[in-house]
């Protein structure tokens, strides 16, 4: 962490945290051994949680449905390992709450073979059938937000998606999940792009990748199809380049209007891992029961990129990476800029878990906070051009309506302002709390 990362460059916005990707960037993806039990929450995506269809004592095979999609903006969840359901009840969830989860005791020495199933040729399916298949496959955004993927493949009738952007920016420090997917499975990413292009009737696909991943750029350029318009766009390395709005701006030069969805510009963004996952549905017929996770940070003995069954407890995952170092202090799901600190080693990996980062004491120890000296660094860092300095003052006074007028709701909690603040004011934490307060007030008019 050198001052060099901030010095001498005149970027309009965004920040340059140290990348730390060298820990895992060149480590091939490997499969972790099955843990003795998996705990699978019914809520692993934005929208309605899955509706439970199994009972305690049931025996399930890998790939069997545990909960079905409850409506269109919902996705099913599946058993990630064969075994017996020993408990259905509340369990620690990665977002910090307790939520309903299905605990499966994994059969030891099981070959983990899923039930035989019919895998349709995607070329023979219509758009609606593809959307249905993607939903049944339980595919959600693997970049972290976990929005059900099929919903984006079925936009309202009055809009048309011209451009599909595949997000391979991966701007969070430490994480190399998407990086390794692009390097090792470029054909799968391309197939996913092809399926989405046809489903949406879109004109082109642009794959945005930060320039710090030249091998990923190479791999995807080598596998570009000749018959459809797919291109690779190398992106400036800066955080938060992978934020949806920033990525769209980099690709199209246009700003998504405040409060609107990308589709209003004729654009849809999907994570490269989600694209590969769509391809996998039609290659193997196996629903989304595992995902690739980067386990990294100075607190992990063997940083790795692993194929992890959904529901694996983080303690088991860390054990598969040689365990923790003696000075490990904080376990984060996601990257260190936007990820969530976990309170227990029992928390399961879910579909939206991009990585597990373990930080040690020197990085974690919070520095003393000072009053705001109005240096304006946060304004220069904010990728959506807010005034965090003024917003923080309003937040402390609970003046949420005034914050609303200053576009608090456009804040995406990327943490850039907190990162640059010399007074170490917890800006994005204040904004997160203010956003929830404002949402509650809007939901219940006074």
Partner 1 sequence: MITSPLRRLVIAASPHLRGPASTPVIMWNVVGSLVPIVAAATYFFGPSALLVVFAATLGAVVTEHVFGKGTSISDGSAAITGMLLGLTLPAGMPMWMAFIGGAFGIGFGKVLFGGLGYNVFNPALFGRAFLQAAFPVAITTWPAVGGATKWWSLRGDNFALPLISAHTDAITAATPLGLMKFESKGTALFNLFVGNTGGSLGETSAVLILLCGGYLAWRQFLNWRIPLSIVATVALFATMLHVANAKYPTAPFMLFSGGLMLGAMFMATDMVTSPVTNAGKWLFGLGIGVLVVVIRVWGGLPEGVMYAILLMNALVPFINKATQPRVFGTRHAMEAAR
Sign of the dihedral defined by the CA atoms of residues 420, 359, 42, 156, in that order: positive
By CB under 8 A, tell whether 200 contacts partner 1: no
- Among 144, 104, 410, 378, CA closest to 255: 410
Indicate which single residue of 272, 310, 384, 392 sits in contact with partner 1 (rule: CB under 8 A): 384
Q: What is the spatial distance between Cα 286 and Cα 118, in angstroms, rounded to a whole number?
A: 10
User: Which DSSP symbol is given to 29?
Assistant: P
Q: What is the spatial distance between Cα 307 and Cα 294, in angstroms, rounded to a whole number?
A: 9
User: Which DSSP symbol is given to 62?
Assistant: T
Q: How far is the CB of 369 from partner 1 (least distance, A)?
A: 9
Q: How far is the CB of 141 from partner 1 (least distance, A)?
A: 19
Q: How far is the CB of 159 from partner 1 (least distance, A)?
A: 17
Q: How far is the CB of 268 from partner 1 (least distance, A)?
A: 17
Indicate which single residue of 30, 31, 115, 374 sits in contact with partner 1 (rule: CB under 8 A): 374
By CB under 8 A, tell whether 410 contacts partner 1: yes
Report 310-349 residues binding partner 1 (CB under 8 A). 313, 315-316, 318-319, 323-326, 328-332, 336-345
Q: Find the angle CA(293)-CA(70)-CA(263) to the nearest 5 degrees.
A: 70
Indicate which single residue of 394, 395, 434, 435 sits in contact with partner 1 (rule: CB under 8 A): 394
Indicate which single residue of 30, 115, 211, 260 sits in contact with partner 1 (rule: CB under 8 A): 260
Indicate which single residue of 386, 392, 434, 435 sits in contact with partner 1 (rule: CB under 8 A): 386
C-alpha torsion angle, residues 284, 312, 317, 309 (rounded to 10): 0
With contacts defined by CB under 8 A, how many residues of the chain interact with partner 1? 86
Sequence-ordered alpha helix ranges (H) in 235-366: 244-252, 272-284, 314-319, 361-364
Q: How far is the CB of 170 from partner 1 (least distance, A)?
A: 16
Indicate which single residue of 256, 267, 275, 276 sits in contact with partner 1 (rule: CB under 8 A): 256
Q: Hey, what are 412's tokens?
A: 């995406």
By CB under 8 A, tell whether 266 contacts partner 1: no
Q: Hey, what are 394's tokens?
A: 């309003």
Q: Hey, what are 248's tokens?
A: 């769209």
| Closer by beta carbon to partner 1, 158 or else 326 | 326
| Closer by beta carbon to partner 1, 75 or else 300 | 300
Using DSSP's 3-state secondary structure scheme, residue 289 falls into coil
By CB under 8 A, tell whether 390 contacts partner 1: yes
Q: How far is the CB of 28 from partner 1 (least distance, A)?
A: 23
Q: How far is the CB of 248 from partner 1 (least distance, A)?
A: 10
Indicate which single residue of 48, 218, 407, 437 sits in contact with partner 1 (rule: CB under 8 A): 407
Using DSSP's 3-state secondary structure scheme, residue 399 falls into coil
Residues near 38 by Cβ (< 8 Å), separated by ≥ 6? 79, 80, 81, 83, 103, 104, 106, 309, 310, 311, 312, 313, 348
Binding mask 224-253 for partner 1 (x = CB under 8 A): ---------------------x--------
The region of 25-33, 73-81, 119-127, 392-400 touching partner 1 under the rule CB under 8 A is 392-400
| Closer by beta carbon to partner 1, 129 or else 258 | 258
| Closer by beta carbon to partner 1, 57 or else 376 | 376
DSSP assignment of 374-386, as one string?
Answer: ---HHHHH-TT--
By CB under 8 A, tell whether 432 contacts partner 1: yes
Q: How far is the CB of 127 from partner 1 (least distance, A)?
A: 29
Q: What is the spatial distance between Cα 355 and Cα 181, in angstroms, rounded to a whole number?
A: 13
CB 241 within 8 A of CB 235: yes
Q: How far is the CB of 443 from partner 1 (least distance, A)?
A: 22
- Among 169, 271, 166, CA closest to 213: 169
């Amino acid at each position: 962490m050198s001052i060099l990362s901030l010095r001498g460059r005149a970027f309009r916005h965004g920040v340059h945290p140290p990348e730390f990707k060298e820990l895992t960037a060149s480590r091939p993806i490997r499969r972790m051994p099955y843990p003795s039990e998996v705990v699978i929450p019914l809520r692993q995506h934005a929208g309605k949680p899955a509706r439970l269809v199994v009972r305690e004592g049931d025996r399930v095979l890998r790939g069997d449905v545990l909960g079905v999609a409850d409506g269109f903006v919902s996705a099913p969840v599946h058993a990630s390992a064969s075994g017996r359901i020993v408990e259905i009840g509340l369990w620690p969830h990665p977002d910090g709450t307790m939520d309903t989860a299905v605990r499966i005791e994994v059969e030891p020495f099981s070959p983990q073979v899923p039930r035989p199933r019919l895998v349709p040729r995607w070329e023979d399916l219509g758009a609606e059938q593809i959307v249905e298949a993607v939903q049944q496959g339980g595919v959600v955004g693997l970049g972290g937000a976990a929005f059900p993927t099929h919903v984006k493949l079925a936009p309202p009738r009055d809009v048309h998606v011209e451009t599909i952007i595949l997000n391979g920016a991966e701007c969070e420090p430490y994480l190399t999940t998407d990086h390794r997917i692009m390097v090792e499975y470029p054909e799968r990413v391309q197939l996913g792009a092809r399926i989405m292009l046809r489903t949406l009737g879109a004109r082109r696909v642009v794959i945005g990748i930060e320039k710090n991943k030249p091998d990923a750029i190479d791999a995807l350029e080598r596998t570009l199809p000749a018959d459809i318009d797919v291109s690779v766009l190398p992106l400036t390395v800066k955080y938060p380049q992978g934020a949806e709005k920033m990525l769209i701006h980099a690709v199209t030069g246009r700003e998504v209007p405040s409060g609107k969805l990308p589709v209003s510009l004729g654009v849809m963004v999907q994570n490269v891992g989600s694209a590969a996952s769509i391809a996998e549905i039609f290659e193997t017929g196996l629903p989304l029961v595992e995902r690739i996770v980067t386990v990294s940070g100075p607190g992990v003995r063997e940083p790795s990129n692993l194929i992890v069954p959904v529901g694996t407890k983080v303690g088991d995952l860390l054990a598969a990476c040689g365990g923790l170092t003696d000075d490990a202090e904080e376990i984060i799901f996601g990257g260190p800029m936007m990820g969530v600190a976990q309170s227990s080693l029992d928390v399961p990996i879910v579909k939206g878990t991009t990585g597990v980062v373990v930080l040690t004491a020197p990085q974690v120890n919070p520095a003393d906070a000072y009053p705001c000296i109005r240096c304006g660094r946060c304004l220069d860092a904010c990728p959506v051009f807010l005034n965090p300095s003024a917003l923080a003052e309003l937040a402390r006074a609970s003046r949420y309506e005034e914050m609303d007028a200053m576009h608090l709701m456009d804040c995406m909690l990327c943490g850039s302002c907190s990162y640059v603040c010399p007074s170490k004011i917890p800006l994005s934490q204040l904004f997160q709390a203010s956003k929830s307060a404002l949402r509650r007030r809007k939901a219940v008019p006074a």
